Amino acid sequence: MEKNIESKVSQWLDGQFDADTIAAVKKLQQENPDELADAFYRNLEFGTGGLRGIMGVGTNRMNKYTVGMATQGFANYLKQAFQGEIKLAIAHDSRNNSRYFAEVAANVLAANGIKVYLFESLRPTPELSFTIRHLGCQGGIVLTASHNPKEYNGYKAYWNDGAQLVPPHDKNVIQEVEKIAGVDEVKWSGGEANIISIGKEVDEAYLQVLKELSIQPDVIAAQHDMKIVYTPIHGTGITLVPEILKRYGFTNVHVVEEQSTPDGNFPTVVYPNPEESEAMSIGLKKAKELDAAILLGTDPDSDRVGIAVKDLKGEWILLNGNQTAVLLFNYIIEGRRQKGLAGATDYVCKTVVTSDLIDVFAARNNVNCYNVLTGFKWIADLIRKKEGSEKFICGGEESYGYMIGDKVRDKDAIASVALICEMAAYALSQGRSLYEQLIDIYVKYGYYKENLISITKKGMKGADEIAEMMRGYRANPPATINGSKVVTLYDYELKQVTDLKTGKVQPIDLPKSNVLQFVLEDGSKISARPSGTEPKIKFYFSVNQPLESAAGFDAATKALDQRIQQIIQDMKLK
């Protein structure tokens, strides 16, 4: 075993750790030295989004001590950044240990003299974002690992605008966290009087804000009995989704009972992720039985939503995040115009790997569409910069996250479920299904089709392998992909875009990010982006062609799917 690992293990065996932790370390020593090495080979990184990792003992695991040290570092920076009383809100999801970690964080903050608003029980992540601004807090924390498997937990830090940390605060907090050399530097207790329990009163304020997002309540009134099936996939959505649908006026909502109880073991799924067909399978069965109009599923902390609808043949299919975004953005833009709500300064925002079709129809409707780096903190950052000069309408990303209005500064599946159901009701009032509405958009603006591949590289060598892959693409970018010339190269790490025909280089006015995009002569786009929270690299594929009529949809789908598969094969990604 490497010396640095042995040293860290010794520190945990001889330091001020509880008896259960020491016993667990000794057990790993005796029974599983490989897992012991993985648990101690590094410190669990406090990245720009916070912590995320497997739960267990060790410096590379989510546990009381790694959470406490991260919180002490965050507290130290908050006290540097703000004068006077400092307030912070904390929420948590349904994962195992989420409540415990939330209480650990609350106790550490309180011991540092910070006033803590701790939710009485599990709540959605977007409500935490809302609460920060609603209660005038300087920051917030939510304990969640989003849609990761049950072994994981996480810790996301927020700033006073209700958004996750952006420069300079992200790097500054990381520096303060890294300064905490050991558990002896953490103030673990002594400020319990600074902790205030919150709950229903904040729920009410949040629900009222979401209710105001409705564009066409008259449509809901006419279609109130539309059959809706909803699954919270054992997460926090059960606390507020049924209630917001009720307040919007929907009267025929069916919750998937098998997945309605919050449970960190996620007993009915492998991954509690609405992007996965397996996680939505029980809901799909119920939707078929009821002949519902739509199925919706939210992840454990309710910031992502997946939907299923019937296709032209009456078969149930899951829409991907780009398709849902296209439908939702289009509904909001056109609905606001129809209702006389549109303004000259309206704008929408999406990430650079989300469907370019949104740029196309936004421009056609005289609405600015801004592109930012992956992560809703960048959408929130843009909102902050444009506050008072332009009006934010909605934002989104391909990974099933959407944000409507600017009262919540993170992706919000509670609001999204409500607006998606309103959108479905509007389609029904027009004698159309959501799937037909999507094809109508393709006919009007062009058929854009996207796909995604995630390549996971686990263990100590995984990060190095991913880094080497990106170095290779930078050093030797492909001249052609699938027989089509690479005409433009976007390098968000170097903050420059290169026209490969002319050699002209222009700056990209966005923060640095380890993302590459290849744009081909035939209009295809391939993006490569290592994950910031998981040991994986993601490849995004976007292809497009005109669609003359709905009758040509199936043939166009086949052609575009084939083009994506040929690109994947040519890049040797499978």
Catalytic residues: 146
452 near 537, Cβ under 8 Å?
no
103 near 65, Cβ under 8 Å?
no
How many Å apart are CA 421 and CA 227, to the nearest integer?
Answer: 10
How many CB atoms are located within 10 Å of the residue 574 CB? Answer: 8
Cis peptide before 217 (omega within 30 of 0): no
How many Å apart are CA 159 and CA 172, to the nearest integer?
Answer: 12
* Partner residues linked to 92 by β-bridges: 143
11 near 40, Cβ under 8 Å?
no
How many Å apart are CA 359 and CA 477, to the nearest integer?
Answer: 26
How many Å apart are CA 60 and CA 390, to the nearest integer?
Answer: 43
Q: For the sheet with 368-372, list strands across it.
A: 368-372, 346-351, 391-397, 401-404
481 near 571, Cβ under 8 Å?
yes
415 near 248, Cβ under 8 Å?
no
Closest by alpha carbon to 230, among 246, 209, 210, 207? 246
Checking DSSP bridges between strand 525-530 and strand 536-545, what pairing results, if any? Answer: antiparallel
Residue 565 identity (one-letter amino acid): Q
The residues near 360 (Cβ < 8 Å, ≥ 6 apart) are 445, 446, 448
Closest by alpha carbon to 300, among 156, 120, 117? 156
| Phi, then psi, of 515 in degrees rounded to 5 | -130, 140
How many Å apart are CA 513 and CA 3, to the nearest integer?
Answer: 33
How many Å apart are CA 84 and CA 225, to the nearest integer?
Answer: 52
321 near 353, Cβ under 8 Å?
no
410 near 129, Cβ under 8 Å?
yes
How many Å apart are CA 306 and CA 401, to the nearest integer?
Answer: 9
